[in-house]
Amino acid sequence: MEMEKSKKFLPFGYKLMLSYCLMMIIPLLLVGSFASSTFVNSVQEHTRTNIQATLTQVKDNMVYKIDDAKRVTDILYQDTAVFQHLKHYEEGWTSYEATTKYLIPRFQQMVESMNEASYLSIYLHNDTLPEIYYTHENASPLASNGQMFDMYHMKRIVNKSWYRDFPEEKYGATMQWKQVEDDGKYGQISLLRRIVDTSDFFQMRELGFVRITLSMDYLFKSVDHRKFGEKSAIFIVDEEDRIVYLSGDRTRRIGDKWTNSDDDKNQLTIQESIPSVKWKLITLVSTEIMEQELNKVRELTFLICLICLIAFFFIGMSFTQYFSKRVRKIVAVLNAFREGDFHKRMRYKGNDEFAQITSALNDMGHNTEELIRVVYLTDIQKKEAELEALQAQINPHFLYNTLSSISQLSKFGEAEKLQRMVKDLATFYRLTLNEGRLIIPIAKELEQVQAYLNIKKTKHGDRMEVLIDVKPDVYQFDTVKLILQPFIENILEHAWFGDHIHIRIAGELDNGVIEFRIIDNGVGIHPDLIQQILHPEHHVHVGYGIRNVDQRIKLHAGKDYGVSIYSKLGMGTTVVIRIPARRM
């Protein structure tokens, strides 16, 4: 009773409150989490949309300037008269007239049609036409105040890598924006494109090469990271993933290979393609500002949920107090019943479930005391009678076998063995009777076993070897008597395999359970026979002694304890006996 009283438990009121809180907290958390995530997603989507719109404006502005340069080069493709003059290889007056009266005015017109200062360089295969160019004395040609175009022979660039690596011609589509010659030095970029003879569309012949040079500040003027925030960056990447232009990033350089660094993982990355030049516009936007807004949303959501939770808590407390008072009254009466006070009663007004429970408890208290006393005493008497009956069944069986052995020794005149066996038999029965006690110390049980083994040793001599290996901490506990001897007797009657047998008796304590093992190297037991011994049918009468031990242990200790048998034919048998570690 004292142990039961000392056990800690969670009162019904707290359980009710806990259940109520869980019923409130879980939906509240779900709703709060859903609302927070929805708003967070909305903020993120809104931010991404704004950035995407700004990036689209940047792209459109840049595409307009790119298309403007492309439009100028398209003039050559559409002017058949230019092709005719470029294909005439007549020197002298014809060449001079074509250059001065048509080509130079045409090239000057192309430069002037650009919306911003640009420099046009024409490279021609027709070397009968004169070269017209200006020296810029280590300065950008865009800074020149004079003519804004040059006309060269093709031999000046045929060995240049940017010319040799130029892609195969696809009419109207093949062009490149690239930094060549001194472009990188002066912050320029050039549009490169072939001049081809379109008179034979299936075999277009290269007549020359066009290079339009523009300032990168002009072409990429709209590419400014400050439009997306001070900690943002914007890149223009070509089809080979090399950086053409950048703004706001000091760790990369123009011409570097574009890769995502570890720092980029903490930023929002948005891309826009520029199909006309196969470039990509990549923006890295710092998430700090967005995170600040998101944190405000999370904090507001948390505050609202906390206020709701506190309100629900006080409401729940009031309901819990109302019901827990009634439960505590019921528990007080039950505790009184448990302590033997069946005179305690409850008074409760109402017509609900608590009123029915009160009435039932009051009625139960009136009749329980005598009923429990009668049933308890009857059960105790029944158990004691069953234990005594089982004990009475096993003693005559052992006595009969021992007296048969004594009779044989007497018949053959072996007086010394006869005297020793009678003495061991007397010791065995003195310990077995034990003033009528059914529960004995394990030390006495092992002493009984030793007396029995002495009896059998007298009969079998050196043919029987026995090893007892019981741990010292087992001896302090008690057991139902005669749980080991029947198994040793069964081994000596049925397990012989040849003319020698070895028996080992082991015992140890493990987690409040004492486990004995009786191991032999005999003939073994068939699995079907083990099943019949431990779980017999009505017409099966084998293994009576073994089953007797198993029944006595279960009757005394419960169904979790008893006898188990493990055996292999021709290899031996192991009997496991499990009893609780108790002191009676």
Most confident of 199-203, 332-336, 403-407, 443-447: 443-447
pLDDT confidence of residue 5? 46
pLDDT tens for 79-129 read: 777 777 777 777 777 777 777 788 888 888 787 777 677 888 889 888 888
pLDDT confidence of residue 218? 82
CA-only gyration radius of the chain, Å: 53
The answer to whether residue 1 scores a pLDDT higher than 60 is no
Mean pLDDT of 407-418: 69
CA distance 198 to 189: 28
The answer to whether residue 344 scores a pLDDT higher than 80 is no
Query: CA dist 471 to 119, 443, 512, 519, 574, Å?
Result: 104, 11, 14, 16, 18
pLDDT tens for 155-171 read: 999 999 899 988 888 87
**At 571, which CATH number?**
3.30.565.10
CA distance 391 to 389: 5
Mean pLDDT of 575-583: 92
Task: Among 39-48, 351-360, 550-559, name the one with the lowest average pLDDT.
Answer: 351-360
Please tell me the number of Cα atoms within 13 Å of 114 on its side-chain side: 24
345 belongs to a structural domain: no
320 belongs to a structural domain: no
CA distance 487 to 225: 92
What integer best gives the mean pLDDT of the chain?
78
End-to-end CA distance of the chain: 18
Share of the chain above pLDDT 90, in %: 11
Mean pLDDT of 320-326: 70
Count of helices and strands (H, E) across the chain: 15, 16
- The DSSP 8-state label assigned to residue 204 in this structure reads P
Mean pLDDT of 37-58: 78
Does an H or E element contain 290, and which? Answer: helix 288-338
Mean pLDDT of 509-521: 93
The answer to whether residue 412 scores a pLDDT higher than 70 is no
Could you identify the residue written with the tokens 């158990």? Answer: 383
Mean pLDDT of 27-45: 73
513-520, strands of its sheet edge to edge: 464-470, 501-510, 513-520, 572-580, 562-568
250 belongs to a structural domain: no
The residues near 196 (Cβ < 8 Å, ≥ 6 apart) are: 77, 169, 171, 204, 205, 206, 207
440 φ/ψ angles, rounded to the nearest 5 degrees: -130, 160
CA distance 158 to 317: 91
pTM score over 0.75: no
The residues near 21 (Cβ < 8 Å, ≥ 6 apart) are: 312, 313, 316
489 belongs to a structural domain: yes
pLDDT confidence of residue 514? 94
The answer to whether 47 and 290 have CB atoms below 8 angstroms apart is yes
The answer to whether 519 and 509 have CB atoms below 8 angstroms apart is no
pLDDT band for position 579 (cuts 50, 70, 90)? very high
The answer to whether residue 521 scores a pLDDT higher than 80 is yes
The residues near 342 (Cβ < 8 Å, ≥ 6 apart) are: 336, 365, 366, 368, 369
More confident residue, 147 or 369: 147
Query: Of the candidates 337, 340, 384, which has an alpha carbon nearest to the alpha carbon of residue 362?
Result: 337
pLDDT confidence of residue 333? 72
Identify the bridge partners of residue 267 per DSSP, sorted by sequence position. 286
Residues 486, 488, 493: CA angle, nearest 5 degrees: 90
Share of the chain above pLDDT 70, in %: 78
Most confident of 27-36, 56-65, 196-205, 266-275: 56-65
pLDDT band for position 581 (cuts 50, 70, 90)? very high
Mean pLDDT of 426-430: 73
The answer to whether residue 379 scores a pLDDT higher than 60 is no
CA distance 445 to 438: 11
pLDDT confidence of residue 340? 64
518 belongs to a structural domain: yes
The answer to whether 192 and 209 have CB atoms below 8 angstroms apart is yes
pLDDT confidence of residue 4? 43
Mean pLDDT of 347-374: 68
Q: Domain of 484?
A: 376-580
pLDDT band for position 343 (cuts 50, 70, 90)? low
Long-range contacts of 418-421 (CB under 8 A, 24+ apart): 420/454, 420/458, 421/455, 421/458, 421/459
pLDDT confidence of residue 473? 93
Q: How many other C-beta atoms are found inside a 10 Å radius of the C-beta of residue 219?
A: 24
Task: Among 28-32, 133-137, 339-343, 561-565, name the one with the lowest average pLDDT.
Answer: 339-343
pLDDT confidence of residue 130? 85
237 belongs to a structural domain: no
pLDDT confidence of residue 501? 92
The answer to whether 509 and 583 have CB atoms below 8 angstroms apart is no
Number of domains the chain contains: 1
Task: Among 88-92, 258-262, 385-389, 414-418, name the one with the lowest average pLDDT.
Answer: 385-389
pLDDT confidence of residue 3? 41
246 belongs to a structural domain: no
pLDDT confidence of residue 574? 94
pLDDT confidence of residue 434? 60
More confident residue, 327 or 185: 185
pLDDT confidence of residue 360? 73
pLDDT band for position 471 (cuts 50, 70, 90)? very high
The answer to whether residue 300 scores a pLDDT higher than 90 is no
Task: Among 108-122, 237-251, 356-370, 523-537, name the one with the lowest average pLDDT.
Answer: 356-370
Query: CA dist 278 to 11, 71, 239, 273, Å?
Result: 73, 17, 6, 7
pLDDT band for position 63 (cuts 50, 70, 90)? confident
221 belongs to a structural domain: no
pLDDT confidence of residue 243? 84
Query: Of the candidates 555, 431, 546, 545, which has an alpha carbon nearest to the alpha carbon of residue 481?
Result: 431
The answer to whether residue 221 scores a pLDDT higher than 60 is yes
